[in-house]
A and B are shown apart, each in its own frame.
Chain A
Amino acid sequence: MSTEAAYGYNSKVEGEVIVSKLDTVVNWIRKHSVWPMPMGLACCAIELMASGGSRFDISRFGMEVMRFSPRQSDCMIVSGTVTYKMAEVVRRIYDQMAEPKWVVAMGACASTGGMYRSYAVLQGVDRIVPVDVYISGCPPRPEALLDGLMKLQDQIMKEPSVSNLLKKDMHPAPKALKTTAIAH
């Protein structure tokens, strides 16, 4: 969580004026307005839906506005088994999302292919899109997803957003892993 120190604001000293870094302000705004794109592909999507329900109340953390259009969302939550046939779709939807954008691999299948060591299943969605947060579990409980999204918020807080504005990708993708299936 961001503290007063992160914003550099002390009401006793500064009164109603806030002096801060632009990066911090931009990141603070971004991290509280993450609109997830639910990429529900298998059983994990059920837990994703549960996370959106009132019991777990994802909106406590400022990232509840699930959008089913890639144009309107910033964070793709890949929840489920990505087959090679579907991989194309996942990548195209990722390409359609506006910068800055993030990807969360929810569950064993999205992270590594999970128990599907098979000719038909992509062995980890990080082979086709850059992943920011991996969440373990088969399926992860909604709390784990919320925790993963809060980790993502912490990461967003550390980004040099203003200097990234001048780059082609506003949010430089994490380095893709170049591993073979055997290395998992």
Chain B
Amino acid sequence: MSEDTFLQDLLKRFEYATERASLDDPAIQVPADKLVETCRVLRDDMGFDLLTDSTAIDWGEEASPRFTTIAHLFSTKNKEYVRIASDCIDDLEPTIPSLVPLFPIANWLERETYDMFGIRYEGHPDMRRILMWEGYPYYPLRKEFPLAGIETELPAADIAEVTQTKVIPAPMMGGPFHAPQTGEMSDREPRGADQSWNEQKEKPE
């Protein structure tokens, strides 16, 4: 089955689906309330038995719909991928149906997406943060979150009191840092690509 006919097949099968620009595997966009149904048909009738990734995109604060979730399905029999995108329902408190009932592996993937983007997965059995601590006030992969971080309190109040330490922003100071690939070994310490500026000295325009 060539990719084009497969995509047409998909679009015919799910008439609510639209085609989505893709450089590689077939990709379709479905409404949030049809996501689980689509994935169920793909899993049970079309052999896409493995969820290889579940993540999200933040299109920026002005965009609406702001968040789009992406699921990558793989067919272990036909060795084919398909990508299902779906816009989240709310821009401020985004939600999307969870795929955990279909693919248990989605559990941690969706927790990570929740942790990083703040997208709540409805029907998820254990919607907690997975990387940052419970109570961390921000979602680090959102567009408005600065790379350096935002000052906030340590997770444990008693330890914050004893140590007088906070979560502090850590700017890159001319980074990211990498070692030059040529030259003497002794001169190849990793360094920022442009170290002429840092947080105290503005970057020249």
Contact = CB atoms under 8 A, between A and B. Distances in A.
A84 B155 CA distance: 7
A87 B140 CA distance: 19
B160 to A, nearest CB: 9
B200 interface: yes
Interface stretch (A12-20, A56-64, A113-121): A113-121
A128 B163 contact: yes
Given A119-B150, A120-B132, A120-B140, A88 B156 contact: yes
A127 B170 contact: no
A87 B148 contact: no
A113 B172 CA distance: 12
A182 B190 CA distance: 19
A92 B163 CA distance: 12
Contact of B170 (A85, A113, A128, A178): A113
B4 interface: no
Given A85-B132, A119-B140, A120-B131, A182 B171 contact: yes
Contacts of B76: none
A123 interface: yes
B169 interface: yes
B123 interface: no
29 contacts: A84-B154, A84-B167, A85-B131, A85-B132, A87-B154, A88-B154, A91-B156, A91-B162, A91-B163, A115-B175, A117-B148, A117-B170, A117-B173, A118-B149, A119-B147, A119-B149, A119-B150, A119-B169, A119-B170, A120-B132, A120-B149, A123-B168, A127-B163, A127-B165, A128-B159, A178-B164, A181-B169, A182-B198, A182-B199
Contacts of A180: 168
Interface of A: 84-85, 87-88, 91-92, 113, 115-123, 127-129, 176, 178, 180-182
Query: Chain A's interface: helix, strand, loop or mixed, by majority?
Result: loop
Contacts of B164: 178
B190 A115 contact: yes
A91 B162 CA distance: 10
B6 interface: no
Given A84-B133, A84-B155, A182-B199, A115 B170 contact: no
Nearest to B138: A119
Contacts of B171: 117, 181-182
B170 A87 contact: no
A76 to B, nearest CB: 15
A88 B168 contact: no
A19 to B, nearest CB: 43
A172 to B, nearest CB: 16
Contacts of B199: 182
B177 interface: yes
Contacts of A85: 131-133, 155
